[in-house]
Amino acid sequence: MRFLRPGDYAVILAYFAILIGIGAAFRKKAAASVEDYFLAGRKMPWWALGLSQMTFWFDMTGTMIIASFLFLLGPRGIYVELRGGAGLVLIFLMLWAGKWHRRSGVITGAEWMLFRFGRDGWAHFARLMSVVSAVVVNLALLAYSFKGAGLFLSMFLPFSPLVCSLIMMLVTALYTIESGFYGVIFSDIFQSVCIWIGVVAIVVVTVGRLAGVADLGALATSVTGNPDWLSPLPQVKTQMPAGYEQYSFLLMMTLLYLGKTLIQGLGVGADPRFFGARSDRDCGRLSFLAGWSFMLRWPLMMSFVVLGLLLVKDLFPDQTVLAQAADLIKTHAGAVPQNEWPELLARVANHPQTFPQELTAGLTQLLGPDWGPKLNLLSFHGTVDPERILPAVLLMSIPAGLRGLLLVAFLAAAMSTFNAIVNGTTAFLTRDLYQGYIRPKAGTKELIYASYGFGALVMLVGFAAAYSTRNINDIWGWLTMGLVGGTMIPTVLRLYWWRYNGSGFALGTLIGMAAALLQRVLIPEMPEWQQLLYMVGAGLAGSVAATYVRPPADRAVLEHFYRTTKPFGLWGPLKRILGAEEAAAMAREHKYDLISVPFALFWQISMLMLPMLLIVRQYGASAVAAGILGLSLVGLYFFWYRKLPD
């Protein structure tokens, strides 16, 4: 492993050994029943579930993407990640979506469809479409995660990104598939400790390095070409490099992402952590803890970004050599598609003897004799590749010893995402497909073995899909705007509209998902804002039209769902079944849940922005963010926390 010392090897090997040990330790316990395998027997304390939720959101690939936008835009980069990376849907999970789903008593979100729509043919079709959509979304998430992990690790290993992703997949399989949700929870607790240590370490290093920088704004402008890098406010238009032009109209994109995330948040909640929570109160507390813990991601990323500015200034005082280097590689190594560019760079850096001597001589002249590590920062467009700033800093700017510790923190972030995706997808395939329709009388042992097989299959398909995309932002943009956009409306309507039925959900999901997949194949260059508008339109039109194909769900099913879940929205015909006291209690719960939304929203955004502003020494803006954070917490205390049930 390049640039690492024996102590770093020891830390990383010990980390892998502990993960594999966790998998072995919980294998027998997880195999006790299907509920144990997928929900840890519904016995986990809220704080353990909260830490697990935090590590799922704290993924390596997403961290690389967000760091790339922070590098390009400064603190304003957070607004791009309102599309998903900022985790704003956590506020809906915390306030009501989590507890609504827990009340069903089911194991998976697909099984929940029978609880909502009954057991006729269309309800079962809705269950199957829920399985299909969840598997497609999770495979896209897994592909995106594998793609990022490969790009990251290829900076440290003498292998291509493809081989590095394979290594991560195999290690994850060793402890995730056999230990189920127990392995997810306990490995996530261990990995959250690794992440906390890494965050503290990198912030300390960054503050020390910044002590010698008199004008951070001037440094950022000279490196990125962005004169407003320190500004925390989204502007109408901002300068963006090649490949990122669609984000130039930053204010418009911010409003679009915010609206999309708020609508999406209304339909979330089908998460194993909520199905496995012990009470409604625990659903709220675990998400609140996850939000606070998730905040640590942002000072980590901003610290790497600041160190990245210093690194790029040192490595490339004249960035015009990057365009020349890219042209030179394309001339002598052959033209390649953009998605294969990282593979080509890895081959040139690791095996230069297999390329014409003119190429290595030219790279030496342009980038210096140590051109190999610098090559990792070269984008397909001949600019600094912002997606590789984070691993480049870790490779070149962090002292030995600490480098191994931080590498473990990022490995923990990646693998906690892998294991949660694999566990969730396996649950759908085993519980809802295999047991639900293929082998309904299968015993526990057979179902556990089926889970092992599905887990392996999911990882292989996700691995194969990872290399059909140009870069990690490309697949993340399509995932959050196209695929989620297409399936978003059906997931919202199922909770808030009494007339919505199995045909509406099944056909609406099918139409929205098909539209997103066709767009990915036929028009992959479509801008994100168009993806969102078209896919949401397709999902909405399909859902509403298909709803009126069939009558509403059976009245007894609707009444049971309404009394159990206690949702708000368009449920007028069902409100008459409630007694006066029950109706008053439900109305009171809804009132405080809705009043808490703006406080939770400002809590989440100000909490993420505050540590970044402190790191870049914007103390006036930091004081404003701190004031907003304080007022938001006061509102949450009186309108949400004090109203949580015992």
Helix (H, G, I), strand (E, B) or coil at 499: coil
Work out the average pLDDT over 630-646.
94
pLDDT (tens digit per residue) in 340-399 = 788 788 889 888 888 989 999 999 999 999 898 888 899 988 999 998 898 889 888 888
Domains contained in the chain, CATH given: 6-312+400-643 (1.20.1730.10), 317-383 (no CATH)
Helix (H, G, I), strand (E, B) or coil at 407: helix
Q: Quote the tokens at residue 108.
A: 């998976």
d(CA 368, CA 480): 40
Do the beta carbons of residue 607 and residue 628 sit within 8 Å? no
Give the per-residue pLDDT at 58.
78
* β-bridge mates for residue 384, sequence order: 378
Asked if pLDDT for residue 62 goes beyond 70, the answer is: yes
How many residues are present in the chain?
646
Give the per-residue pLDDT at 286.
95
Q: Is 438 exposed, middle or buried (0-12, 13-18, 19+ CB in 10 A)?
A: exposed
Higher pLDDT, 34 or 268: 268
Confidence of residue 471 (pLDDT cuts 50, 70, 90): low
> What's the chain's average pLDDT?
87
Give the per-residue pLDDT at 1.
42
d(CA 146, CA 459): 9
Work out the average pLDDT over 4-30.
76
Work out the average pLDDT over 48-65.
82
Identify the weakest region by mean pLDDT among 55-69, 71-85, 599-613.
Answer: 55-69
> What percent of the chain stands above pLDDT 90?
44
Give the per-residue pLDDT at 613.
96
Give the per-residue pLDDT at 400.
73
d(CA 493, CA 499): 9
Q: Quote the tokens at residue 435.
A: 């047991």
* β-bridge mates for residue 378, sequence order: 384
Asked if pLDDT for residue 106 goes beyond 80, the answer is: yes
d(CA 46, CA 113): 25
Higher pLDDT, 573 or 401: 573
d(CA 637, CA 642): 6
pLDDT (tens digit per residue) in 185-210 = 887 788 788 888 888 989 999 999 99
Q: Quote the tokens at residue 486.
A: 């297409």
Work out the average pLDDT over 306-311.
95
Start-to-end CA distance of the chain, whole Å, equals: 52
d(CA 609, CA 494): 34
Look at residues 66, 65, 44 and name the one whose alpha carbon lies nearest to residue 53: 44
Give the per-residue pLDDT at 621.
95
Work out the average pLDDT over 41-68.
84
452 alpha-carbon distance from chain centroid:
24
Asked if pLDDT for residue 172 goes beyond 80, the answer is: no
d(CA 75, CA 306): 11
d(CA 155, CA 395): 7
In the block, residue with structure tokens 């503290």: 200
Give the single-character DSSP code of 552: P
Work out the average pLDDT over 555-574.
95
In the block, residue with structure tokens 């984008």: 379
Which stretches within 154-249 are classed as H helix? 161-210, 216-224
Do the beta carbons of residue 187 and residue 51 sit within 8 Å? no
Find the helix packing angle between 280-294 and 46-57, rounded to 10°: 40
Asked if pLDDT for residue 424 goes beyond 60, the answer is: yes
Residue-by-residue DSSP string for 49-67 = HHHHHHHHHS-HHHHHHHH
Half-sphere CA count of 123, side-chain side, radius 13 A: 17
Q: Which long-range contacts (CB under 8 A, 24 or more apart) does 182-186 make?
A: 182/26, 182/29, 182/30, 182/36, 182/40, 183/22, 183/23, 183/26, 183/30, 183/419, 183/423, 184/52, 184/416, 184/419, 184/420, 184/423, 185/40, 185/44, 185/48, 185/49, 185/52, 186/22, 186/26, 186/48
- Cβ contacts of 44 within 8 Å, gap of 6 or more: 185, 276, 277, 278
d(CA 417, CA 55): 7
Half-sphere CA count of 185, side-chain side, radius 13 A: 27
Asked if pLDDT for residue 171 goes beyond 90, the answer is: no
522 alpha-carbon distance from chain centroid:
25
Confidence of residue 481 (pLDDT cuts 50, 70, 90): confident
Q: Quote the tokens at residue 261.
A: 């995330």
Work out the average pLDDT over 447-455.
85
Do the beta carbons of residue 618 and residue 611 sit within 8 Å? no
Identify the weakest region by mean pLDDT among 120-129, 374-383, 391-400, 533-542.
Answer: 391-400
d(CA 44, CA 255): 38
Amino acid (one-letter) located at 501:
N
* β-bridge mates for residue 497, sequence order: 570
Look at residues 452, 436, 340 and name the one whose alpha carbon lies nearest to residue 37: 452
Higher pLDDT, 618 or 18: 618
* β-bridge mates for residue 570, sequence order: 497
Work out the average pLDDT over 79-98.
91
d(CA 596, CA 570): 20
d(CA 410, CA 161): 16
> What percent of the chain stands above pLDDT 70?
97
Do the beta carbons of residue 140 and residue 466 sit within 8 Å? no
Identify the weakest region by mean pLDDT among 78-87, 332-341, 528-537.
Answer: 332-341
CA angle 514, 516, 519 (to 5 degrees): 105
Look at residues 238, 203, 306, 242 and name the one whose alpha carbon lies nearest to residue 73: 238
pLDDT (tens digit per residue) in 506-520 = 999 999 999 999 998
Q: Global pTM? A: 0.85
Q: Is the dihedral of CA 184, 185, 189, 190 positive or negative?
A: negative
Asked if pLDDT for residue 3 goes beyond 70, the answer is: no
Give the single-character DSSP code of 339: G
Helix (H, G, I), strand (E, B) or coil at 382: coil
d(CA 29, CA 47): 21
Give the per-residue pLDDT at 469.
62
In the block, residue with structure tokens 């390596």: 60
Residue-by-residue DSSP string for 245-289 = GGGSSHHHHHHHHHHHHHHHHTT----HHHHT-SSHHHHHHHHHH
